[in-house]
Structure 1
Amino acid sequence: MATKTTAKKTTSKTVAKKAGKTPAKKDAAKQLKDLFEDSLKDIYWAEKALVKALPKMHKNATDKKLKTAIEKHYNETKVHVKRLEECFSALGKKAQAKKCDAMQGLLDEGKGIMEETEAGAVRDAGIISAAQKVEHYEIATYGSLAAYAKVLNEKDCLKNLLATLTEEKKCDQLLSKIADTAINTKAK
Protein backbone atom coordinates (compact mmCIF):
# COMPACT_ATOMS: atom_id res chain seq x y z
CA MET A 1 0.00 0.00 0.00
CA ALA A 2 1.50 3.27 -1.12
CA THR A 3 1.02 6.49 0.78
CA LYS A 4 0.82 9.83 -0.85
CA THR A 5 3.19 12.48 0.37
CA THR A 6 2.44 16.07 -0.30
CA ALA A 7 5.52 18.20 -0.55
CA LYS A 8 5.27 21.70 0.74
CA LYS A 9 6.85 24.27 -1.53
CA THR A 10 9.64 26.05 0.34
CA THR A 11 11.76 28.99 -0.56
CA SER A 12 15.10 30.05 0.79
CA LYS A 13 13.30 32.81 2.72
CA THR A 14 11.02 30.24 4.36
CA VAL A 15 13.96 28.03 5.30
CA ALA A 16 15.87 31.03 6.65
CA LYS A 17 12.84 32.16 8.67
CA LYS A 18 12.32 28.72 10.20
CA ALA A 19 16.00 28.54 11.10
CA GLY A 20 15.82 31.96 12.77
CA LYS A 21 18.00 33.51 10.10
CA THR A 22 17.45 36.92 8.60
CA PRO A 23 17.07 36.83 4.83
CA ALA A 24 19.71 38.90 3.04
CA LYS A 25 18.91 42.05 1.09
CA LYS A 26 19.40 42.02 -2.67
CA ASP A 27 22.56 44.17 -2.37
CA ALA A 28 23.96 42.10 0.51
CA ALA A 29 27.71 41.48 0.74
CA LYS A 30 28.54 38.22 -0.96
CA GLN A 31 32.28 38.21 -0.42
CA LEU A 32 34.64 39.39 2.31
CA LYS A 33 35.75 42.29 0.09
CA ASP A 34 32.13 43.52 -0.03
CA LEU A 35 31.82 43.29 3.77
CA PHE A 36 35.17 45.08 4.11
CA GLU A 37 34.06 47.97 1.89
CA ASP A 38 30.67 48.24 3.60
CA SER A 39 32.35 48.31 7.01
CA LEU A 40 34.76 51.02 5.81
CA LYS A 41 31.74 53.14 4.81
CA ASP A 42 30.23 52.70 8.29
CA ILE A 43 33.36 53.64 10.22
CA TYR A 44 34.01 56.54 7.82
CA TRP A 45 30.59 57.93 8.74
CA ALA A 46 31.31 57.26 12.41
CA GLU A 47 34.65 59.09 12.39
CA LYS A 48 33.15 62.08 10.57
CA ALA A 49 30.32 62.18 13.13
CA LEU A 50 32.91 62.11 15.94
CA VAL A 51 34.70 65.10 14.44
CA LYS A 52 31.42 66.97 15.05
CA ALA A 53 30.67 65.45 18.48
CA LEU A 54 34.06 65.76 20.20
CA PRO A 55 34.04 69.59 20.40
CA LYS A 56 30.70 69.36 22.26
CA MET A 57 32.19 66.89 24.72
CA HIS A 58 35.21 69.18 25.16
CA LYS A 59 32.95 72.14 25.85
CA ASN A 60 30.98 70.20 28.48
CA ALA A 61 33.98 68.67 30.24
CA THR A 62 35.45 70.51 33.24
CA ASP A 63 38.50 68.44 34.21
CA LYS A 64 41.66 69.82 32.60
CA LYS A 65 43.16 66.38 31.85
CA LEU A 66 39.89 65.21 30.32
CA LYS A 67 39.63 68.32 28.15
CA THR A 68 43.22 67.77 26.98
CA ALA A 69 42.50 64.10 26.18
CA ILE A 70 39.38 65.02 24.20
CA GLU A 71 41.25 67.69 22.27
CA LYS A 72 44.07 65.25 21.47
CA HIS A 73 41.61 62.63 20.27
CA TYR A 74 39.76 65.21 18.19
CA ASN A 75 42.99 65.87 16.29
CA GLU A 76 43.63 62.13 15.95
CA THR A 77 40.08 61.59 14.68
CA LYS A 78 40.65 64.04 11.85
CA VAL A 79 43.68 61.91 10.90
CA HIS A 80 41.54 58.76 11.14
CA VAL A 81 39.19 60.26 8.55
CA LYS A 82 42.15 60.93 6.23
CA ARG A 83 43.47 57.39 6.70
CA LEU A 84 40.08 55.96 5.77
CA GLU A 85 40.05 58.15 2.68
CA GLU A 86 43.46 56.68 1.82
CA CYS A 87 41.99 53.18 2.22
CA PHE A 88 39.18 53.97 -0.19
CA SER A 89 41.72 55.39 -2.63
CA ALA A 90 43.92 52.26 -2.33
CA LEU A 91 40.83 50.19 -3.18
CA GLY A 92 40.15 52.39 -6.21
CA LYS A 93 36.92 53.61 -4.62
CA LYS A 94 35.53 57.04 -3.84
CA ALA A 95 35.32 57.68 -0.09
CA GLN A 96 31.70 57.15 0.84
CA ALA A 97 30.00 57.33 4.22
CA LYS A 98 27.09 55.10 5.15
CA LYS A 99 25.21 56.00 8.32
CA CYS A 100 26.40 53.88 11.20
CA ASP A 101 23.41 53.22 13.45
CA ALA A 102 25.62 51.88 16.24
CA MET A 103 27.70 55.07 16.39
CA GLN A 104 24.59 57.23 16.14
CA GLY A 105 23.18 55.43 19.17
CA LEU A 106 26.41 55.89 21.14
CA LEU A 107 26.57 59.59 20.28
CA ASP A 108 22.91 60.04 21.23
CA GLU A 109 23.60 58.34 24.55
CA GLY A 110 26.58 60.65 25.16
CA LYS A 111 24.46 63.69 24.39
CA GLY A 112 21.82 62.44 26.82
CA ILE A 113 24.42 61.97 29.56
CA MET A 114 25.61 65.55 29.12
CA GLU A 115 22.02 66.83 29.27
CA GLU A 116 21.12 64.75 32.32
CA THR A 117 24.10 65.59 34.54
CA GLU A 118 25.27 68.78 36.17
CA ALA A 119 28.55 70.29 35.07
CA GLY A 120 31.47 69.00 37.11
CA ALA A 121 32.89 65.66 38.12
CA VAL A 122 29.67 63.68 37.61
CA ARG A 123 29.27 64.95 34.05
CA ASP A 124 32.99 64.34 33.45
CA ALA A 125 32.57 60.73 34.63
CA GLY A 126 29.60 60.38 32.28
CA ILE A 127 31.55 61.86 29.38
CA ILE A 128 34.36 59.36 30.00
CA SER A 129 31.87 56.48 30.08
CA ALA A 130 30.27 57.61 26.82
CA ALA A 131 33.66 58.19 25.20
CA GLN A 132 34.90 54.75 26.22
CA LYS A 133 31.82 53.11 24.72
CA VAL A 134 32.70 54.86 21.47
CA GLU A 135 36.34 53.77 21.77
CA HIS A 136 35.35 50.16 22.39
CA TYR A 137 33.12 50.19 19.32
CA GLU A 138 35.95 51.66 17.27
CA ILE A 139 38.47 49.16 18.63
CA ALA A 140 36.18 46.27 17.66
CA THR A 141 35.56 47.76 14.21
CA TYR A 142 39.18 48.57 13.42
CA GLY A 143 40.27 45.16 14.69
CA SER A 144 37.82 43.42 12.37
CA LEU A 145 38.73 45.66 9.44
CA ALA A 146 42.44 45.00 9.96
CA ALA A 147 41.77 41.24 9.98
CA TYR A 148 39.81 41.56 6.72
CA ALA A 149 42.54 43.72 5.14
CA LYS A 150 45.17 41.14 6.09
CA VAL A 151 43.24 38.27 4.47
CA LEU A 152 42.43 40.41 1.41
CA ASN A 153 46.12 41.40 1.13
CA GLU A 154 45.23 45.12 1.26
CA LYS A 155 48.58 46.16 2.72
CA ASP A 156 48.08 49.95 2.50
CA CYS A 157 44.71 49.70 4.21
CA LEU A 158 46.11 47.33 6.83
CA LYS A 159 48.87 49.78 7.75
CA ASN A 160 46.37 52.64 8.16
CA LEU A 161 43.85 50.53 10.06
CA LEU A 162 46.45 49.23 12.50
CA ALA A 163 47.77 52.76 13.12
CA THR A 164 44.26 53.94 13.98
CA LEU A 165 43.57 50.85 16.10
CA THR A 166 46.67 51.61 18.19
CA GLU A 167 45.52 55.20 18.76
CA GLU A 168 42.01 54.10 19.73
CA LYS A 169 43.42 51.68 22.31
CA LYS A 170 45.72 54.37 23.75
CA CYS A 171 42.81 56.80 24.02
CA ASP A 172 40.75 54.21 25.88
CA GLN A 173 43.63 53.55 28.30
CA LEU A 174 44.11 57.28 28.90
CA LEU A 175 40.42 57.76 29.64
CA SER A 176 40.53 54.90 32.16
CA LYS A 177 43.55 56.44 33.84
CA ILE A 178 41.89 59.87 34.08
CA ALA A 179 38.72 58.34 35.52
CA ASP A 180 40.54 56.10 37.99
CA THR A 181 43.01 58.69 39.29
CA ALA A 182 40.70 61.63 39.79
CA ILE A 183 37.27 61.98 38.29
CA ASN A 184 35.41 58.95 39.67
CA THR A 185 36.56 59.79 43.22
CA LYS A 186 35.48 63.43 42.84
CA ALA A 187 32.12 62.34 41.42
CA LYS A 188 31.48 60.08 44.42
Structure 2
Amino acid sequence: MATKTAENTNATTATEKKATVDNATVKSSEMKNSPLHKFFVDALKDIYYAENAIIDALGKLQEAATTEELKDAFEDHQLQTKKHVSRLEKVFKLIDEKPEKKECEAIKGLIKEGEEVIKSTEEGSMTRDAALIIAAQKVEHYEIATYGGLAQLAITMGHDKAADLLEKTLQEEEDTDYNLTEIAETSINFDAEQEG
Protein backbone atom coordinates (compact mmCIF):
# COMPACT_ATOMS: atom_id res chain seq x y z
CA MET A 1 0.00 0.00 0.00
CA ALA A 2 2.84 2.36 0.85
CA THR A 3 4.33 1.63 -2.58
CA LYS A 4 1.12 2.63 -4.33
CA THR A 5 1.02 5.93 -2.43
CA ALA A 6 4.60 6.68 -3.47
CA GLU A 7 3.73 5.85 -7.10
CA ASN A 8 0.67 8.12 -6.96
CA THR A 9 2.79 10.92 -5.45
CA ASN A 10 5.38 10.52 -8.21
CA ALA A 11 2.64 10.56 -10.87
CA THR A 12 1.11 13.68 -9.36
CA THR A 13 4.50 15.39 -9.19
CA ALA A 14 5.19 14.55 -12.82
CA THR A 15 1.78 15.93 -13.82
CA GLU A 16 2.40 19.11 -11.80
CA LYS A 17 5.81 19.55 -13.43
CA LYS A 18 4.27 19.14 -16.88
CA ALA A 19 1.60 21.71 -16.06
CA THR A 20 4.24 24.11 -14.78
CA VAL A 21 6.28 23.71 -17.96
CA ASP A 22 3.15 24.20 -20.08
CA ASN A 23 2.26 27.35 -18.13
CA ALA A 24 5.80 28.68 -18.53
CA THR A 25 5.59 28.23 -22.29
CA VAL A 26 3.66 31.39 -22.97
CA LYS A 27 3.45 32.56 -26.56
CA SER A 28 5.76 35.51 -27.18
CA SER A 29 2.80 37.61 -28.37
CA GLU A 30 1.06 36.97 -25.03
CA MET A 31 4.28 37.79 -23.18
CA LYS A 32 4.60 41.10 -25.05
CA ASN A 33 1.09 42.04 -23.96
CA SER A 34 1.61 41.12 -20.32
CA PRO A 35 1.62 44.01 -17.83
CA LEU A 36 5.04 42.93 -16.51
CA HIS A 37 6.60 42.96 -19.99
CA LYS A 38 5.10 46.38 -20.69
CA PHE A 39 6.49 47.69 -17.40
CA PHE A 40 9.90 46.16 -18.17
CA VAL A 41 10.04 47.84 -21.60
CA ASP A 42 8.86 51.14 -20.11
CA ALA A 43 11.59 50.97 -17.47
CA LEU A 44 14.19 50.19 -20.16
CA LYS A 45 13.09 53.30 -22.08
CA ASP A 46 13.39 55.32 -18.88
CA ILE A 47 16.98 54.20 -18.15
CA TYR A 48 17.87 54.57 -21.85
CA TYR A 49 16.85 58.23 -21.63
CA ALA A 50 18.72 58.55 -18.33
CA GLU A 51 21.98 57.07 -19.64
CA ASN A 52 21.95 59.41 -22.63
CA ALA A 53 21.32 62.41 -20.35
CA ILE A 54 24.10 61.27 -17.99
CA ILE A 55 26.65 61.36 -20.82
CA ASP A 56 26.12 65.11 -21.18
CA ALA A 57 25.94 65.71 -17.44
CA LEU A 58 29.26 63.92 -16.84
CA GLY A 59 30.93 66.32 -19.27
CA LYS A 60 29.73 69.25 -17.13
CA LEU A 61 30.88 67.56 -13.93
CA GLN A 62 34.28 66.88 -15.46
CA GLU A 63 34.69 70.55 -16.44
CA ALA A 64 33.64 71.71 -12.97
CA ALA A 65 35.87 69.29 -11.01
CA THR A 66 39.01 70.63 -9.37
CA THR A 67 41.27 67.60 -9.01
CA GLU A 68 42.66 65.64 -11.94
CA GLU A 69 41.70 62.42 -10.20
CA LEU A 70 38.03 63.39 -10.15
CA LYS A 71 38.15 64.81 -13.69
CA ASP A 72 39.58 61.46 -14.85
CA ALA A 73 36.93 59.51 -12.94
CA PHE A 74 34.15 61.49 -14.61
CA GLU A 75 35.76 61.06 -18.03
CA ASP A 76 36.11 57.29 -17.48
CA HIS A 77 32.51 57.05 -16.38
CA GLN A 78 31.36 59.03 -19.40
CA LEU A 79 33.07 56.52 -21.70
CA GLN A 80 31.58 53.65 -19.71
CA THR A 81 28.11 55.23 -19.92
CA LYS A 82 28.38 55.26 -23.72
CA LYS A 83 28.94 51.49 -23.50
CA HIS A 84 25.88 51.21 -21.24
CA VAL A 85 23.78 52.94 -23.91
CA SER A 86 25.04 50.46 -26.50
CA ARG A 87 24.38 47.56 -24.14
CA LEU A 88 20.81 48.76 -23.57
CA GLU A 89 20.30 48.83 -27.34
CA LYS A 90 21.31 45.14 -27.37
CA VAL A 91 18.82 44.41 -24.58
CA PHE A 92 16.03 46.05 -26.61
CA LYS A 93 17.02 43.93 -29.62
CA LEU A 94 17.10 40.73 -27.54
CA ILE A 95 13.51 41.25 -26.42
CA ASP A 96 12.43 42.31 -29.92
CA GLU A 97 11.72 45.94 -29.01
CA LYS A 98 12.87 49.19 -30.59
CA PRO A 99 15.24 51.34 -28.49
CA GLU A 100 13.29 54.41 -27.46
CA LYS A 101 13.75 57.07 -24.81
CA LYS A 102 11.09 57.90 -22.28
CA GLU A 103 11.68 61.13 -20.39
CA CYS A 104 12.96 60.30 -16.92
CA GLU A 105 11.93 62.88 -14.33
CA ALA A 106 14.14 61.31 -11.67
CA ILE A 107 17.35 61.72 -13.66
CA LYS A 108 16.36 65.21 -14.77
CA GLY A 109 16.03 66.15 -11.10
CA LEU A 110 19.35 64.58 -10.14
CA ILE A 111 21.14 66.32 -13.02
CA LYS A 112 19.57 69.64 -12.04
CA GLU A 113 20.79 69.06 -8.49
CA GLY A 114 24.31 68.51 -9.84
CA GLU A 115 24.11 71.78 -11.77
CA GLU A 116 23.02 73.56 -8.57
CA VAL A 117 26.09 72.13 -6.81
CA ILE A 118 28.30 73.71 -9.45
CA LYS A 119 26.57 77.10 -9.05
CA SER A 120 26.63 77.05 -5.26
CA THR A 121 30.26 76.00 -4.67
CA GLU A 122 33.46 77.90 -5.22
CA GLU A 123 35.34 77.11 -8.41
CA GLY A 124 38.64 75.34 -7.75
CA SER A 125 37.64 74.25 -4.25
CA MET A 126 37.77 70.83 -2.66
CA THR A 127 34.30 71.54 -1.29
CA ARG A 128 33.05 71.60 -4.87
CA ASP A 129 34.72 68.26 -5.58
CA ALA A 130 33.21 66.72 -2.44
CA ALA A 131 29.77 68.01 -3.47
CA LEU A 132 30.23 66.79 -7.07
CA ILE A 133 31.05 63.30 -5.81
CA ILE A 134 27.85 63.21 -3.76
CA ALA A 135 25.83 64.47 -6.74
CA ALA A 136 27.39 61.80 -8.98
CA GLN A 137 26.76 59.08 -6.38
CA LYS A 138 23.08 60.00 -6.21
CA VAL A 139 22.93 59.26 -9.93
CA GLU A 140 24.86 56.01 -9.41
CA HIS A 141 22.43 54.87 -6.74
CA TYR A 142 19.49 55.56 -9.05
CA GLU A 143 21.19 53.48 -11.75
CA ILE A 144 22.06 50.68 -9.32
CA ALA A 145 18.44 50.44 -8.16
CA THR A 146 17.17 50.48 -11.73
CA TYR A 147 19.59 47.92 -13.17
CA GLY A 148 19.21 45.62 -10.16
CA GLY A 149 15.44 45.60 -10.57
CA LEU A 150 15.55 45.23 -14.35
CA ALA A 151 18.00 42.32 -14.16
CA GLN A 152 15.69 40.47 -11.77
CA LEU A 153 12.66 41.11 -13.98
CA ALA A 154 14.59 39.83 -17.00
CA ILE A 155 15.43 36.64 -15.10
CA THR A 156 11.80 36.23 -14.01
CA MET A 157 10.58 36.57 -17.61
CA GLY A 158 13.21 34.20 -18.98
CA HIS A 159 15.25 36.86 -20.80
CA ASP A 160 18.53 35.34 -19.67
CA LYS A 161 20.83 37.04 -22.19
CA ALA A 162 19.25 40.42 -21.43
CA ALA A 163 19.64 39.70 -17.70
CA ASP A 164 23.36 39.00 -18.20
CA LEU A 165 23.84 42.35 -19.95
CA LEU A 166 21.87 44.23 -17.30
CA GLU A 167 23.84 42.53 -14.51
CA LYS A 168 27.12 43.47 -16.20
CA THR A 169 26.05 47.12 -16.23
CA LEU A 170 24.86 46.84 -12.62
CA GLN A 171 28.31 45.60 -11.57
CA GLU A 172 30.01 48.49 -13.40
CA GLU A 173 27.69 51.02 -11.73
CA GLU A 174 28.50 49.53 -8.32
CA ASP A 175 32.23 49.69 -9.12
CA THR A 176 31.93 53.36 -10.13
CA ASP A 177 30.10 54.17 -6.89
CA TYR A 178 32.84 52.43 -4.91
CA ASN A 179 35.58 54.31 -6.82
CA LEU A 180 33.91 57.66 -6.12
CA THR A 181 33.76 56.80 -2.42
CA GLU A 182 37.45 55.93 -2.49
CA ILE A 183 38.35 59.25 -4.11
CA ALA A 184 36.29 61.17 -1.54
CA GLU A 185 37.63 59.29 1.47
CA THR A 186 41.28 59.25 0.38
CA SER A 187 41.77 63.00 0.17
CA ILE A 188 39.00 65.25 -1.12
CA ASN A 189 36.77 65.21 1.97
CA PHE A 190 39.73 65.93 4.26
CA ASP A 191 41.01 68.72 2.03
CA ALA A 192 37.52 70.23 1.84
CA GLU A 193 37.27 70.20 5.62
CA GLN A 194 40.46 72.28 5.82
CA GLU A 195 39.07 75.02 3.57
CA GLY A 196 38.21 78.19 5.49
TM-score by length of 2: 0.80
* Equivalent AA in structure 2 for residue 161 of structure 1: L
> Aligned partners of 1:52, 1:154: CA distance in 2, in Å?
30
2:184 matches 1:179: yes
Q: How does 1:86-125 map to 2 (within 5 A)?
A: 86-119=90-123, 120-125=125-130
Q: Do structure 1's residue 144 and structure 2's residue 162 form an aligned pair?
A: no
Percent sequence identity over aligned pairs: 46
Displacement after TM superposition at 1:32 (Å) = 1.2
C-alpha distance in structure 1 between counterparts of 2:168 and 2:34, whole Å: 28
Question: 1:150, 1:30 → 2: CA distance?
Answer: 15
Identify the residue that residue 69 of structure 1 maps to in structure 2.
73
Q: Which residue of 1 aligns with 2:42?
A: 38
Distance 2:87 2:166 in 1: 8
* Distance in 2, Cα, partners of 1:172 & 1:52: 18
Deviation at 1:95, TM superposition (A): 0.3
Residue 30 of structure 1 deviates from its aligned partner by 5.7
* Paired amino acid for 2:57: A
2-side partners of 1:153 and 1:131: how far apart?
Answer: 33
Corresponding residue of 1:20: none
SS at match of 2:70: helix
Mind listing any 5+ residue stretches in structure 2 that lack a counterpart? Answer: 1-32
1:129-159 per-position Cα deviation (integer Å, ceiling 9, x unaligned): 0000000000000000000000011122111
| Count of residue correspondences | 160
Distance 2:80 2:157 in 1: 26
Q: Which of these residues, 131, 139, 142, is aligned with residue 136 of structure 2?
A: 131
RMSD: 1.1
CA–CA distance in structure 2, aligned partners of residues 30 and 128 of structure 1: 40
* Counterpart position of 1:60: 64
The residue type paired with residue 174 of structure 2 is K
Q: Secondary structure at the match of 1:92?
A: coil
What are the ranges of 5 or more consecutive residues in structure 1 without an aligned counterpart? 1-28
- Give, as a single letter, the amino acid of the residue that structure 2 aligns with 1:49: A
Which AA in structure 1 matches 2:81?
A: T
**If the length of structure 1 is used for normalisation, what is the TM-score?**
0.83
Q: Distance in 2 between matches of 1:90 and 1:99?
A: 22
Structure 1 segments, 4+ long, off by >3 Å, are none
